[in-house]
Amino acid sequence: MTTTRDPLNAILGYPESPVASAAQGPLAGATLAVKDNYDVAGYPTGGGNPDKEAESPIAVVTAPAIQSLLDAGARFIGKAQTDELTYSISGLNAHFPPPVNPRARERATGGSSSGSAAAVAGGLADIAIGSDTNGSIRVPASFCGLIGLRITHGRISMEGAMPLAPSFDTFGWFARDASLYEVVGAVLLGEDTHHETFTRPVRIPALEALLFGNEERAAYHAMLSQALDHWKRPPCFVDLPGEPGELFTCFKEIQAYEAWKVHGPFLSQKDRRLGSGVRERFAYAGSITDEQVAVAQRRRAAFANAFSAVIDPDMVVIMPSQPSAAPLKIANQEELESYREKALPLTSIAGLLGWPQITIPLGTVHDAPFGISLLAHAGSDRQLIRLAGAILQG
C-alpha cells in the first residue's frame, strides 16, 4: 500500500511518473493535485482502500476533465489522499495518517476530498481536484478555509473517475483565492445556461436551525451580514418544502443503493478491511431494497419540483455550509457519526436538486474556519463563482 509523502499527509507516495502539461495556457505556472479517485496516466487509482489500490491497473488515459487542466498549463504534483471509497466526510481514513488541516491542526480536514483540501490550504498546490457526492468538496472547503463549488450535476464529465453514487457524483476543485477559482471554472465549465442575474437573496430558516449553538449562530450571522451587503436589500424568507432530516433520509437511501451497485461486487469478494464508519455505511447500503429506493426517488422528484417552484430564477439561497467547525481529530467514531448525521442534511439539498452550491471562507468559530454557502439554479455555476468573489472582496 502506498503511503503519504509530505508533512501534511496530503499527497500520496506513489512512484512518480511523468505527466505532461502545456507550456502555455490560462493555468500556466499553477500547481495541481488530483484526488485519488480520478485516473491519471501512469498512476493507479486507489480510492483510499488498500485492496482497491492493489487491484487497480496503472491508468493509461487521464480523466478528460483533468486532462483539460493539464492542457491549460496546470502542472501536476501528485495524487491526493481520499477518504475510503469516498464514502465519508470526516477526512480520516483508517489506512493512512490523517491529513493536516493547516488552519486548525487539532481538527479534521473533512472529506472525502481530504488530501486535496489539505494540499491547497497548506500551500502544496494552487489547485486541487476533488469530487462531491454529498459534501466532499463543500465540507472540507468550509473546514479548511477554502472556496469550494459543488457544480451542477453532470456539467463536468466524471469519465475516468471512480464512482460512488452516480446520480449525485460531481466534479469539484479547491483554491485559496477567487480569481484562480474563476479561471479554473472558465477552463472546465463553458458558458452558463442560467442567465438570470441574482437580484434577490433568500434565507431558509429550517436550514439555519441546523447550526449547532450560540457561537455558531453568532458567527453565521456575521457572515450573513457581509454577504447581504452585496445586495443592499433585505432577504426574502422561504419555507423548505420538507423537513431536513426526512430529506436527508431520502438522499441517504438513494446514495447507499447506488454505492452498493458500484462497490458491492468488490466488497462481496472478500474482507476488504474497511475502516470504522465506512464499514457500517456499506453494510447499510447492502440492505436497501428496490422498493425503498423507488419511494425515495419519487420523494426526490417531488421535492425538486416543489423547491424549484418557490425559488425564482433571480433568487440565490444563502445558507450554512456546515453546522459548525470541523470535528476534533480525537473525536471517537460515535461523535463523528453524530456530527455526520447533523451535518449532511445541509449538504443533501443541492444533491437532491442537482443544483450548484459554493462555500465561501468568510468566518471562523471555535478558532477554526467556518464557511457560508450560496445555492442557486442549475447552470449558474460561473455566476456563483463570480458572486462568491465579489462577496469575498466586500
Catalytic residues: 35, 112, 136
Question: Which set of grid coordinates corresponds to residue 100?
Answer: 493536516
Report strand pairing: 147-150 vs 357-365. Answer: antiparallel
Q: Which amino acid type is present at position 189?
A: L
Please report, for residues 89, 304, 370, the alpha-carbon distance to residue 146 in angstroms, rounded to integers and kept in the order given. Answer: 16, 28, 10
CA 137 – CA 118 distance, rounded (Å): 12
Q: Does residue 63 contact residue 21 with C-beta atoms inside 8 Å?
A: no
At how many degrees (to 10) do helices 381-393 and 178-189 cross? 170
What's the rounded Cα separation, in Å, for the pair 328 and 331?
5
C-alpha cell recorded at residue 167? 446520480
Extended beta strands in the chain, E state:
31-35, 75-80, 127-132, 147-150, 170-175, 200-203, 236-237, 315-320, 357-365, 368-375
Q: How far apart are CA 85 and CA 224, in angstroms?
A: 35
282 alpha-carbon distance from chain centroid: 20
Show the cell assigned to 37. 479517485
- CA distance readout (Å), 373 to 80, 262, 386: 25, 30, 13
Q: 357, exposed or middle or buried, with CB in 10 Å at 0-12, 13-18, 19+?
A: buried
Query: What contacts 224, CB < 8 A, 6 or more positions away?
Result: 203, 318, 372
Residue owning grid cell 491497473 = 57
| Phi, psi at 94, each rounded to 5° | -60, -20
